[in-house]
Amino acid sequence: MTLSAQADPTGQYAAFYDRSLAEPEAFWAEQAGLIDWFEPWHQVFDGSQPPFAKWFVGGRTNLCHNAVDRHAATRPDAAALIWSSTEVDQEKTWTFAELLREVQAMAAVLQDQGVGEGDRVLIYCPMVPEAVFAMLACARIGAIHSVVFGGFASLSLAGRIDDAQPKLIVSCDAGSRGGKVTAYQPLLEEALRQSTHRTERVLWIDRGLQPLQRTAGRDLVWHEERERVAGRAVPCAALESNQISYTLYTSGTTGKPKGVQRDVGGYAVALAMSMKHIFDGRPGETYFSTSDIGWVVGHSYIVYGPLIAGMATLMYEGLPVRPDAGVWWRLAAKHKVSVMFSAPTAVRVLRKADPAYLTQSDLSGLRSLFLAGEPLDEPTARWIRDALGKPVIDNYWQTETGWPILTLARGVAPMHERLGSPGVPMPGYRAVLVDPETGEPVTEPGHKGVLAMDYPLPPGCLQTVWGDDQRFVNTYWGSLPGPQRYSTFDVATRDADGYTFILGRSDDVINVAGHRLGTREIEECIASHPGVAEVAVVGVADALKGQVPWAFVVPKGDGQGLAQGVQAHVDAQLGAVARPARVLVLPLLPKTRSGKLLRRAMQAVCEGRDTGDLSTIEDASALQGLKAVVAAA
């Protein structure tokens, strides 16, 4: 990889990355030494059936052993899981030895219900520690977990039940968000009624938030079962590296659910490598990811990654602004967090609050803040970097890849972050920008192309789509002309120093009277307007121009004159061709509970179409407000 001295002053990262491509088997064999193996592999990589890939063929290992058992054996009293909830005002820490006991108890309960290797367990929970116990217990005995984001609507949950066909479901009586209790049992009961698959058992975690109604012959309650199996030892299954560890349904999926399927050994190695070389995580320290276990970040960097690295992982149930906007920073100070991982949307929410909250806590131990989940605009990045006085590192990846594609490897070499760019390709990713019309590589700096990867993807990425190999081939490896390449479906540019800039989804590149415009570019421009707190830009069908951009902005003040100011701002910075046809001012943008903007739904409202599945929406009133503003426009 060609990186300038501006990007990679020592040249260390380029050498590290280049070796991962030039000598992939030697490179990944070396990284595999970061985890324990019960039996060695006989082949590092099997690429005999592209685009499918197998890593560490014949090797036997276990995610739970690497996350819990090996640390419990050497550092039993070290903190492993810290759970803090501002929803129920509770906090508790489990050491590695204590976590091992909880996971073994959960594994024993699962085994007693006939759950074994290859069986599916669906986990439908809020951010409670028992959900982590359940994930690790599945990994321990070789069951396949499928975590569904807590609070998903019944119809969406039913589709996932039918696709995963679980033998057992783990759920809760209720969750809480912003102090508002949501009963989970009615949602799950309705999903079970709608699904065609008959689930044999439901294991309930009774939090005492809602009355729990038991169905005889089907329902179990965790605290009762835990007492029954207390003290029982359950050994880790020695799983072949390419057995399935879990499936995870991509957020925003419509139609038949698309379950990303992950392996065991390759995933463990990729996470261990990323914790050491990307996040610079160190054993005995604390890692704080503000995500949810229902999303891929929660799988990789709340549960498995930090624990594999021997770190304590801080799991938070609550909002970033409750009881106030200083709660995350107080937690980071209290638990001496060294690495933190969040999302740009959350930072934009915090940006609206009193900046004094960022300086009231002792964050001297915090080395880096990583942000991912959506494009990080330059004004937001600059604000949080300057406010914290810490490196703020963007990173770009997908549910499908399981760990970052683009970022800066803090554990390898000092590299300069470039605001607006997630960074450079990580080891093993043969990243290339491709012309979507010709399939030819785009090599000129500043020119747009679809971000794609040449075969093979590195360890830890999806094996296939659960139950649908052809969909895996057609969707991910068959959408671009030319040689078979994995498409991220994101448009990007690369500058002369080697940094990549994500402009937005390829279907978010709008054609305005023959001009191709990335909605991300327009959003970046509008976000730099001093009167704008948040912005979303969508392409809306137009009979004359094909598509035109509409901008939805949340003002910092009263919003008076903001629409005209935004249009003039875009005119001055990008030109009249990029000027939004409409600038609509809103108090709130519609988002998912994980903080992603519901751009597809916003576009549908503008075009008078059905918004589709909105089961993940955070606040339905935001969408109603948008509809009212669009109707009045």
Residues 38-52 have a mean pLDDT of: 97
DSSP 389: T
The least confident of 94-98, 281-285, 384-388 is 384-388
Neighbours of 489 (CB within 10 A): 18
Q: What pLDDT, on the 0 to 100 scale, is given for residue 254? A: 40
d(CA 509, CA 43): 42
Q: What pLDDT, on the 0 to 100 scale, is given for residue 573? A: 76
Kindly calculate the radius of gyration of the chain based on its CA atoms and give it in whole angstroms: 24
Q: What pLDDT, on the 0 to 100 scale, is given for residue 5? A: 80
Which residues, in sequence order, are CB contacts of 283 under 8 Å at separation 6+?
A: 71, 75, 309, 310, 311
In tens, the pLDDT along 466-505 reads 999 999 999 999 999 999 999 999 999 999 999 999 987 7
Does some domain include residue 533? Answer: yes
Does some domain include residue 578? Answer: yes
In tens, the pLDDT along 418-467 reads 988 999 999 999 999 999 889 999 999 999 999 999 999 999 999 999 99
Residues 227-252 have a mean pLDDT of: 92
Q: What pLDDT, on the 0 to 100 scale, is given for residue 162? A: 95
520: nearest Cα among 555, 493, 488: 493
CB-CB contact of 562 with 527 (8 Å): no
CB-CB contact of 511 with 546 (8 Å): yes
337-342 and 286-289 beta bridge pairing: parallel
The C-alpha angle 375, 380, 381, rounded to 5 degrees, equals 80
The C-alpha angle 71, 72, 74, rounded to 5 degrees, equals 65
Does some domain include residue 18? Answer: no
State the helix-helix crossing angle for 24-31 and 265-273, rounded to 10 degrees: 80
| Band of pLDDT at residue 1, cut at 50, 70 and 90 | low
Residue 475, Cα to own-chain centre: how many angstroms?
20
Instruction: For the chain, give the percent of residues with pLDDT over 90.
Output: 73
In tens, the pLDDT along 17-29 reads 999 999 999 999 9
Consecutive H or E run containing 392: strand 392-394
- Mean pLDDT rounded to a whole number for the chain: 92
Secondary structure (DSSP) of 521-578: HHHHHHHTSTTEEEEEEEEEEETTTEEEEEEEEEESS--TTHHHHHHHHHHHHT-GGG
d(CA 200, CA 168): 6
Q: What pLDDT, on the 0 to 100 scale, is given for residue 353? A: 84
Question: Please, how many CA atoms are within 13 Å of residue 13, restricted to the half-sphere of its CB?
Answer: 28
Does some domain include residue 566? Answer: yes
d(CA 159, CA 475): 20
**Residue 564 pLDDT > 50:** yes
CB-CB contact of 308 with 298 (8 Å): no
Q: The tokens of 209 are what?
A: 């938030």
| Band of pLDDT at residue 232, cut at 50, 70 and 90 | very high
Q: What pLDDT, on the 0 to 100 scale, is given for residue 572? A: 80
Does some domain include residue 266? Answer: no
User: Which residues are registered as beta bridge partners of 260?
Assistant: 248, 465
| Band of pLDDT at residue 150, cut at 50, 70 and 90 | confident
Q: What pLDDT, on the 0 to 100 scale, is given for residue 154? A: 85
Residues 284-307 have a mean pLDDT of: 96
Tell the residue number behind the tokens 């503008």, with chain if given: 606
| Band of pLDDT at residue 252, cut at 50, 70 and 90 | very low
Burial class (CB in 10 A: 0-12, 13-18, 19+), 258: buried
Does some domain include residue 274? Answer: no
**Residue 155 pLDDT > 60:** yes
d(CA 578, CA 566): 11
d(CA 624, CA 586): 11
Does some domain include residue 591? Answer: yes
- Collapsing DSSP to helix, strand or coil, 582 comes out as strand
Q: What pLDDT, on the 0 to 100 scale, is given for residue 611? A: 82
81: nearest Cα among 129, 124, 138, 125: 129
CB-CB contact of 320 with 346 (8 Å): yes
The C-alpha angle 202, 129, 113, rounded to 5 degrees, equals 30
Q: How many domains does the chain have?
A: 1
Q: What pLDDT, on the 0 to 100 scale, is given for residue 151? A: 67
d(CA 433, CA 492): 7
State the distance between the two ends of the chain, measured CA to CA, in whole angstroms.
49
User: Which residues are registered as beta bridge partners of 433?
Assistant: 451
Consecutive H or E run containing 347: helix 344-351
Range of the domain at 552: 513-632
**Residue 319 pLDDT > 70:** yes
Does some domain include residue 571? Answer: yes
The least confident of 225-229, 512-516, 548-552 is 512-516
**Residue 617 pLDDT > 50:** yes
In tens, the pLDDT along 64-84 reads 999 999 999 999 999 999 999
65: nearest Cα among 243, 292, 264: 264
The CATH number linked to 543 is 3.30.300.30
User: Which residues are registered as beta bridge partners of 518?
Assistant: 509
Q: The tokens of 606 are what?
A: 């503008």
